[in-house]
Each structure stands twice: as C-alpha cells, then as structure tokens.
Structure 1
Amino acid sequence: MTTDQALAPAIRVQGIGKSFKDLQVLRGVDFDVRAGSIFALLGSNGAGKTTLVRILSTLLKADAGTATVNGFDVGEKPGEVRESISLTGQFAAVDEVLTGRENLVLIAKLRHLKNPGAVADGLLARFALTDAGNRKASTYSGGMRRRLDIAMSLIGNPPIIFLDEPTTGLDPQARIEVWQTIRQLASQGTTVLLTTQYLDEAEQLADRIAILHKGTIIQNGTLAELKQLLPPAQVEYIEKQPSLEDVFLALVGDTAETDSTEADSADDDGRTHGRVPAGKEKQ
C-alpha cells in the first residue's frame, strides 16, 4: 500500500445529489471519513440519511457527484465496493426460524468462506452470544438480535460497515449493548459510518459528527468543535458548555422534517435494510 493510499479517507463523498421525481433529497453532500473511525451522520427523519447510505452501498445511483468507498468509485466499481462493506439497516435482518449459529453459518456460506461453523462459533464468542447460539433467534431480546445482526454483517471481515439507525426501537439497555459493540468494532480497526437521529448516540460514539439538514451537510466536526459554535451559558458564575442537542437545534431549528416521501422511509418499506454479500447484487 502506498503512502497516499494509507492516508486516503475510507469514504469520500463529493457533491452527491439525488432526487425522486420533484423531491430533491440530497443537494450536494460532501464529507470524508477517516479509516478506523466512527463517523455519525446526524439528522431528523427525512433529512436524507438512508438515501445517502444506499448510494454509498451501491443500492441506489446518485444523480450528481462522486463517492469512493475503500478507494473504489461507487458508480464505476460497485462490485469492489460491495466486497469492502457490510450494511446493517434499521431493523435486524435475521432469520427468526433459525438459531443464532445457523444464521451466522448461512451468511458465511453465502460469502463462500471455508469452515463456516468455526466462523460462526468465533463470532458468537466475540459478541457474547455463545450460550444463546443454539436458541432460535425469535427468542432473543432486542439487544441480542441486533448484536447477532451486526455479527452477521462482519462475516468476511469487511473494512467498512454502514449502520443505518442501528438502535431504532431498542430499549435503553439494548442500546447500550449495541453502543458497546460499535465501540469494539472501531477499536479493532473497522471504519463505521453511523446514521442516527438520536443526539446522545452521536455524542457517545462518534469521532466526528456531520449534521445533515434538508439534503446538505450544514456542519461537520468533532463534538468539541460543534460545541464551540455556541457560547457557554453563564448561570451564577458557573460556566456551562452547550450540549450537542443545543448545537443541533440551533443549526436546524426546532421543526423536525416530516417528508414521508424521502427514502429514509419510502425506499425500502421500512424493512428491507439488509446486507449485501460480497460480490452479490441485491435482487
């Protein structure tokens, strides 16, 4: 690997635009994601988060702009991009009729890996699911199901993983379990692009946070940099730093976007955010 390749961002997005008929969803989106980091794309419902993830994961074509993932252009080399990534959507895409282990073995076989049973056992141990490995996934709690879903996404060791609102519908304890899993991924060198509408999630996890509003990135920085956008409040001579929620609402206003035609809800009927096995087109 050359020095330039080593220093290149894992994900680069430049001027990405996308419209659905008369609705302009993305309006020239730009950002870079450093390899091995957690990058949070923060925005309200309808902001364009899922549309962008679907473009980066080659499930949707952009109308304008360019994007590279792991050094591959998403438009020109979609096969190489799919070999470099895994996508975990808003709802866990596990087969509830199968056991946890059987789910993992199935994906390992689809990726044509040798010894899929050993791969499954290793991931069950890594995600603290060994004791539940022979139970049907339908018996799992929300947090366990999501951990299994992420484990399935990691089969084949993709260097980049997209997590599209991974804690949607989870209870607080399950969210914490998923957060711990995401931190573990980054600590082991995986690049994570996380979309979320939860301010505390971005605050807890992200190395950098980009705020997507009405199809454009209106701010991009570390948590400390975003907090500096607002002056500290003074209460009885005690300095109070603004929270990420203060920054977010000041930037986008307090009126949430509710455009139901945006691809965050309409593109896939709220259920089809699955993973794309390496080199396989989604049918």
Structure 2
Amino acid sequence: MSDPIIQLTGIHAAYRHGRQRVTALDGVDLTVEHGEIFGLLGPNGAGKTTLLSILEGLLRPDRGRVTLDGIDVLAAPAEAKRRLGIQLQRSALIDDLTVAELVHLYSSLYEVEMSKAQVDELLARFDLADKVRSFARRLSGGQQQRLALALAVANDPPIVLLDEPTSALDPRARRAMWDIIRRLHTEGRTILLTTHAMEEAEALCSRVAIIDRGQIVACDTPAALIDQIDVRPILKAVIEVPLDRVAPLPGVRAARYTGQHLEVETAEPQVTLAALHQLAAEHGRRVGDVAIRPPNLEDVFLKLTGRSLG
C-alpha cells in the first residue's frame, strides 16, 4: 500500500492576539490517501484555514511534520508547492487583466508555458470558454470562483487545496462548482477541501475529518460517522413551546431550536409528533412546516462538541 499523499503528524500552531497566545492547532494528526476528496469540516475559527496555510508552506507550525506526496514541506517548501493547486477562500484577481492573461500569468509563476489552445481547453473545462477576453472584474461571483479553480490547476498539480470553495455562492452556482470539483477528481487528483457546510461535505467527500478548537475529534466516511454516533431521525417543525416541555415527550432523545425551527431527535417520529401536537394545543399553538429528516454531519458535530457548525 502506498504512503498517504498528505500526512500531518503532531501539528501544533499558535498565534498572538494582542498579549494573548491563541492555540490554532493542538496536536493534529491527519492522513489523506491518493485520489480522495477529503473534507475538513468545522465552524469558523476551528483551525481549518491554519491547517491549509501549513500545507501550503505559508505558515510554519510550532511543532510537527508535514509531507505532500512524500516531500517534507518544512524541509523543501518550494518542491512541495509544485505539487499543489490552491484556491483560497477569497481570491484576489487582478481586475485589469483578461481571463486568458490571468491563466498565462498564474501558469508562468510555476514556470509552465501554455499555448493558446491549452488555455482555451482549460477554460472550456471550467465553463469559461466565452470569457477568454473578459476582464476579471466583469465576471459574476460564480464565474470568478470557477476562474480561481482553473488558475489553481493551471500547473496540472496532483493535489488541490480548496478553502471554503462555495461559501459566497448561491445554490445554483454552488452545485455547478460541485460538478467541477467532481470532474477534477475523475482526472485523478487528490482534493482536500475545507467547509462548514455539512451538505457540501456529504455530497462530495469520501472521508471527512471534523475539527473543533484545533483538534480532530472524528475522522471517517460521512455514513460511518453518523452510524458511530448513533443519531436518530430528526423531527423538524415550526412551533413555540418551552424546550423543557418537549424533552419528556415519548421518543425524544434531544431537542433544540435552530432559528424558528424546533428540531427533535427521536426514536419514534410519529409518536413524538402526535405528542407535540397535543403539547402545542395545550399552549394554544399550532405545529407547522413538519418534516422528518435523517441525521446528518451537523448532528454528528453537535453530539461530539455540544455546539452547532454555524
């Protein structure tokens, strides 16, 4: 069996916030295998971006070892960077260059010379064939994200790092980006993406690591994580009743409000729903917008950490 293409061992990292020393990563061990789409799932501030910065060679950890495709990132950062394509959470594109000029610029930074035909082929893969002569500032948000991803693979890297690749996109543009990420994967690339959207992790990733307060608290396939944590179906409804009156209802294992919705983890959804209707009537309320959904990674995160991903 080949060695992991990405390996972090005993990574510690901290930063200064005024006079305070804040731990960003606290003994992180992580491996990503060749050809995976691997998700790093956690809320803002959990340590996701710090971890990517270390992989990218932009930040040196206080302790630990990092290898990319067998290359020690700390000992040979320039060589390691050649194995990477990187899309940052916010890409600062040069507004007054055309899309084609940006591809030539970024590829040249990796000492890669691309012909016009190669540029055209790359942009076509990212649905930007008709934007070759457009200035970056004229692109929509989704088009800018697709261009950033095209620039990330202009040097044909085996590993692609994506930091919150769809965070600012509407649902349609988000799903278009998912299709492109899947396409990159079918080309044989290994993809590591950070996200705090459980739907994205479940849709794309073969394995997920959940990170919280700088530590990996779980790592497995999305389905295995849900099975291991033993989360029951979630009854979701719009209703205003005290949580302490919901908790004793039959079948209820946990209850919480998320925005205007009551979410109840229950072993017996229909029995719980009938009891909830009765409780609502006692308070002169009605139960609306009822839905029963299977457990997901956000429920797993809540179970493991006691707080939501948002």
TM-score class normalised by the smaller sequence = 0.7 to 0.9
Contact 2:46/2:211 (8 A) holds in 1? yes
Q: Which runs of 4+ in 1 moved over 6 A?
A: none
What do the CA deviations read for 1:177-198 (whole angstroms, capped 9, x no partner)? Answer: 2111111111111111101111
Structure 1 counterpart SS, 2:82: helix
Q: Matches of 1:143 and 1:182 in 2, distance apart?
A: 14
5+ residue gaps, structure 2: 234-266, 272-291
CA displacement, residues 16-45 of structure 1 (integer Å, 9 cap, x when unaligned): 000114111110011110111111101111
What is the rounded CA distance, in whole Å, between the counterparts of 1:28 and 1:47 in structure 2? 13
Give the Å deviation of 1:73.
1.0
Whether the 8 Å CA contact 2:231–2:299 is kept in 1: the answer is: no
Matched with 1:253 is 306
Amino acid at match of 1:23: V
Cα drift, residue 76 of structure 1: 1.0
Distance in 1 (CA, whole Å) between partners of 2:309 and 2:128 is 38
1:101 matched to 2:96: no
Question: How many aligned positions are there?
Answer: 252
Deviation at 1:219, TM superposition (A): 0.3
RMSD, matched Cα: 1.9
Give the residue type in structure 1 aligned to 2:230. Answer: L
Identical counterparts, % of pairs: 41
Q: How does 1:54-133 map to 2 (within 5 A)?
A: 54-133=53-132
Partners of 1:83 and 1:158 within 8 A in 2? yes
The structure showing larger relative contact order (alpha-carbon pairs under 8 Å, at least 6 residues apart) is 1
Counterpart amino acid of residue 232 in structure 1: R
1:115, 1:65 → 2: CA distance? 37
More deviation, 151-160/19-28: 19-28
Contact 1:230 1:242 in 2 (8 A): no
In the alignment, which residue of structure 1 is the partner of 2:30?
31
Does residue 205 in structure 1 map to residue 204 in structure 2? Answer: yes
Larger Rg: 2
- Asked if the contact 1:87/1:161 (under 8 Å) is kept, the reply is yes
Corresponding residue for 1:19?
14
State the Cα deviation string for residues 203-258 of structure 1 (Å, max 9, x = none): 11111000000110000000111111124333238x9642112111111222669x
The equivalent of 1:175 in structure 2 is: 174
Unaligned runs of 5+ in 1: 258-283
TM-score, length-scaled by structure 2:
0.77
**Inter-partner Cα distance in structure 2 for 1:31 and 1:211:** 11
Distance in 1 (alpha carbons) for counterparts of 2:89 and 2:270: 43
Contact 2:104 2:113 in 1 (8 A): no
SS of 1:236's partner is: helix
The SS at the match of 1:169 is coil
Correspondence 1:243 to 2:296: yes
Question: Contact 1:227/1:247 (CA < 8 Å) preserved in 2?
Answer: yes
Structure having the larger proportion of residues in strand:
2
- CA positional deviation for 1:108: 2.3
Say whether the 8 Å CA contact 1:108–1:116 is kept in structure 2. Answer: no
The one-letter code matched in structure 2 to 1:10 is I
